[in-house]
Amino acid sequence: MLKRWPAAQVFHDPQSTAHTAGRLFSPRNGTQDGHESGFHLFVKGTNFQVNVWRALLRVREGSLISYKQLARLTGNPTAVRATASAVGANPVSYLIPCHRILRSSGALGGYHWGIDRKRAMIAWDSAHVECI
């Protein structure tokens, strides 16, 4: 976060953030089934990027799709590379779930915060879907 907002002041205050963290990591955080989470996001990007990020919000918790399938969801089926680029530019990767996107081969592909974290997030999603 400090790379994106170098003048920001970061405070460690678990007591103040516990409620929000609880909502964020609850089994039903609202990014599935088209329901809203109650989190309001303000993200800046090109029209194309924002369109891709909106499509990411439609990928249900526990589901995995390819970049090609995501490009189709945006209405731009031939823009697979541009779609992948927009996924990589996602500024809030947990709330806009880019970890649910795979390569066409089924491989996990890259992830800005590392493949182990992507694998863990996919497992988290799957575990919560199984519990519900």
Tell me the catalytic residues: 98
Euclidean distance between CA atoms 88 and 93, whole angstroms: 9
Task: Give the distance, in angstroms, between the CA of residue 32 and the centroid of all CA atoms in the same chain.
Answer: 12
Report which DSSP code applies to 66. E
Euclidean distance between CA atoms 44 and 23, whole angstroms: 24
Q: Which residues contact 130 (CB under 8 A, 6 or more apart)?
A: 62
Please provide the size of the chain in residues.
132
Task: Give the distance, in angstroms, between the CA of residue 39 and the centroid of all CA atoms in the same chain.
Answer: 13
